[in-house]
């Protein structure tokens, strides 16, 4: 039986009325949970990938500056899992998950055009949570930014750059 310490919870969403693209991960990993920051693991490629998408340096600036640059570009962040049991950080270890209210959040964002899923687990759980929701949003599956997903950075970047058109005003 999993220990109580294995119960993990997601962070609050980072969105505002100008969010045009919502990027959803599965559930923060151990390093992110300890630092209370999205994508805090130094080997996670999220900030480099999103920097390419928004055309701004993100990986080498302070966390609050990263978030501000994403918001300025029309990008929001959240996770598909509200709570789950998980030993370690791997998505394959997620058990007994409770979903976040993705459809409710998306419906509250008037400028939202697309919802992107960072990795296979986020896509599988997120698409299930959005079944029957408003179809005005484009859903985009992305290769995971996690270091556990070992395809090369350039291949990931090519796929992530497909998000750029959703950021146009």
pLDDT digits 0-9 by tens, 12-70: 999 999 999 999 998 888 899 899 999 999 999 999 999 999 999 999 999 999 999 99
Confidence (pLDDT) at 164: 98
Q: How far apart are CA 18 and CA 23, in angstroms?
A: 14
**Strand pairing of 7-9 and 81-85?**
antiparallel
Q: What is the pTM of this model?
A: 0.92
Structural domain count, the chain: 1
56 within some domain: yes
115 within some domain: yes
pLDDT tens per residue, range 71-90: 999 999 999 999 888 787 66
Confidence (pLDDT) at 131: 85
User: Does residue 75 contact residue 23 with C-beta atoms inside 8 Å?
Assistant: yes
* Residue 37 C-beta-side C-alpha neighbours within 13 Å: 16
138 within some domain: yes
Residue 90's domain comprises: 4-164
36 within some domain: yes
Find the angle CA(143)-CA(146)-CA(147) to the nearest 5 degrees.
115
Q: Catalytic amino acids? A: 44
Q: What is the DSSP letter of 63?
A: H
**Strand pairing of 81-85 and 75-79?**
unpaired
What CATH number does residue 120 fall under? 3.40.470.10
User: Does residue 38 contact residue 58 with C-beta atoms inside 8 Å?
Assistant: no
149 within some domain: yes
169 within some domain: no
H/E element holding 122? helix 120-129
**Residue predicted with more confidence, 147 or 57:** 57
14 within some domain: yes
pLDDT tens per residue, range 98-131: 889 999 999 999 999 999 999 999 999 999 999 8
């Amino acid at each position: 039986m999993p220990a109580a310490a294995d119960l993990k919870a997601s962070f609050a969403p980072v969105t505002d009325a100008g969010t045009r693209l919502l990027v959803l991960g599965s559930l923060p990993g151990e390093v992110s949970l300890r630092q209370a920051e999205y994508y805090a693991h130094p080997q996670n490629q999220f900030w480099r990938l999103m920097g390419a998408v928004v055309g701004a340096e993100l990986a080498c600036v302070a966390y609050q500056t990263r978030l501000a640059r994403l918001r300025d570009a029309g990008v929001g962040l959240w996770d598909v899992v509200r709570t789950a049991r998980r030993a370690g950080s791997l998505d394959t270890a997620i058990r007994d998950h409770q979903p976040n209210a993705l459809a409710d959040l998306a419906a509250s964002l008037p400028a939202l055009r697309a919802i992107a899923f960072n990795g296979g687990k986020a896509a599988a759980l997120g698409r299930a949570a959005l079944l029957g929701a408003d179809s005005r949003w484009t859903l985009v599956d992305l290769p995971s930014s996690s270091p556990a997903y070992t395809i090369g950075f350039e291949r990931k970047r090519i796929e992530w750059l497909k998000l750029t058109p959703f950021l146009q005003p």
